[in-house]
Structure 1
Amino acid sequence: MPRAIVCYVRWVDAFNRRVGRLVMLLIFVMIGLLLYASVSRSLFNSPLVWGIEVSQFLMASYYLLGGAYSMQLDAHVRMDLFYSRWSDRTRALVDVLTMLLLFVFLGALLAGGISSTGYALRYGETSYTTWSPPLAPIKIIMTLGILLMLLQCLSTFFKDIARIRGEVIE
């Protein structure tokens, strides 16, 4: 594989690995927040207006920013009825073909995310809840997560092409 592609794969994999490992900690923040909200509501009869919504934003950030790392680890759910029986080259070929469809899907999601984020920033869009937080920060995170997933898909695509050619990109 060309040196530029190998450098791209290494850079994207390293970046998404760092982001994924950092984002993993959000689950503990979310658990702490939900515990605090529960204690506040049941023991002190003082429910948090913002607790559930912040935990939803944290969860969305968790899975959107962690998706690329999950793809890197090959941890996404897949229908494994035939896949595990195929040779490594056949699996790589099927992955390349399905990755092309994923590029189209993620491209459409990214275009929608950019449009939605632009709208939220331009018009100060807020949630329709009592707390009414601005939605731009979570939409920026959403768009960033989709972009990271698209970059990781391209990295995985290059690794699969290398596998088809009998090469390995570490």
Structure 2
Amino acid sequence: MKALLRFAGWIDQLNRIFGWVATAGVLVCCLVSTGNALSRYAFSLSSNAWLEIQWYIFAGIVMLGAAVTLARNEHVRVDVLYGRLPARGKAWADLLGLLIFLMPAMLTLLYFSAPYFLSSWNSQEYSSNEGGLIIWPARLMLPLGFLLVCLQGVSEIIKRIGYLRGEYEMDTHYERPLQ
């Protein structure tokens, strides 16, 4: 179990790095948006590339930030019953949810998004908009994001099993692992 918990820690660290990239992407997206607005209104210069790069960055923010959101246990959930469960009950609910819902959904999305990206990569597909950008970087965010969430799901499964076995400690509110 100790080796699996070390592996889970490696996954957590990997996703913290991608989470930092997603956070930096918010600033970059704001700067691109500001630059686009300034160039359009101050100098009457505009390009679809500016709009498309904003969409690409936003895709990166969402897809790269999803796994770290799961790691921090800040994802959306229905707390009608969950909030009333004791810590072990929450661990069981999480474990079952991860195994029954998250992992099959992410693996299915990864399965279908990878060929979508590869097709765009192989054809070097460009946007049909005037001045548009190459599309594969945005499409890469789909399988990459789903893969990162899958990995984080594995980490969370390991940590929940470790917690249930008494080999991994969670905080008293069962919101985040103790560091």
TM-score relative to the length of structure 2:
0.88
User: How far off is 1:158 after superposition?
Assistant: 1.0
5 Å matches for 1:53-132? 53-100=52-99, 101-132=101-132
Q: Bigger CA drift: 136-145 or 101-110?
A: 136-145
Classify the secondary structure of the residue corresponding to 2:153: helix
Q: CA deviation at 1:84?
A: 1.2
What is the SS of the residue equivalent to 2:4?
A: helix
In the TM superposition, residue 75 of structure 1 has moved relative to its aligned partner by: 1.2
TM-fit CA distance, 1:23: 2.3
Question: Cα offset for 1:91?
Answer: 0.8
Q: Which residue of structure 2 lines up, in the alignment, with residue 137 of structure 1?
A: 137
Unpaired segments ≥5 residues, structure 2: 170-178
| Aligned mates of 1:58, 1:147 — CA distance in 2 | 18
* Offset, 1:81: 1.7
Does the CA-based 8 Å contact 1:110-1:143 persist in structure 2? yes
The Cα shift of 1:135 comes to 1.4
- 1:155 Cα deviation from its structure 2 partner: 0.2
Deviation at 1:125, TM superposition (A): 2.0
| RMSD value, Cα | 1.5
Amino acid at match of 2:45: S
Checking the alignment, whether the CA contact within 8 Å between 2:56 and 2:137 is kept in structure 1 is no
Structure 1 regions of 5+ residues with no counterpart? none
Name the structure 1 match of 2:176. none
- The alpha carbon displacement at 1:112 in A equals 1.2
Deviation at 1:51, TM superposition (A): 1.2
* Aligned match of 1:167: 167
The offset of 1:35, in angstroms, is 0.6
Contact 1:61 1:141 in 2 (8 A): yes
1:94-115 deviation digits (Å, cap 9, x = unpaired): 1111112211110111111211
Aligned residues: 169
User: TM-score, length-normalised on structure 1?
Assistant: 0.92
On the 8 A contact 1:125/1:134 being kept in 2, the answer is yes
Matched-pair identity in %:
26
1:154 aligns with 2:150: no
Question: Is the contact made by 1:103 and 1:153 (CA closer than 8 Å) also made in structure 2?
Answer: yes
